[in-house]
Amino acid sequence: MCEANAYLRQDGKDEMLMEMVDKVIPEGDGLVLEDIFGRRKLIKARIKELALVDHKIILEKEAQEN
């Protein structure tokens, strides 16, 4: 299976958000993550990088409000 794990990158650290992600669908100002069991999470973030061979989806929050 070629699912990946989704991480939120903040301050140089990657925090695991969801394992075994199959689908990623942009929706509004966020992303719907769906794992291989059909469980969904809506995250207010955008894609920073995909590294599929490493099974990684790196997300980041929208630009900070300064």
The residue count for the chain = 66
Task: Give least dist CB 38 to a second copy, A.
Answer: 11
Task: Scan residues 24-63 and list those touching a second copy (CB under 8 A).
Answer: 24-26, 36, 46-53, 55, 57
Q: Which two tokens stand for residue 55?
A: 């099974």
Q: Which stretch binds a second copy (CB under 8 A): 1-9, 11-19, 37-45?
A: 1-9
Residue 33: other Cβ atoms inside 10 A? 22
Give the residues across from 21 on adjacent strands.
4, 35
The binding site for a second copy (CB under 8 A) comprises 1-4, 21-26, 36, 46-53, 55, 57
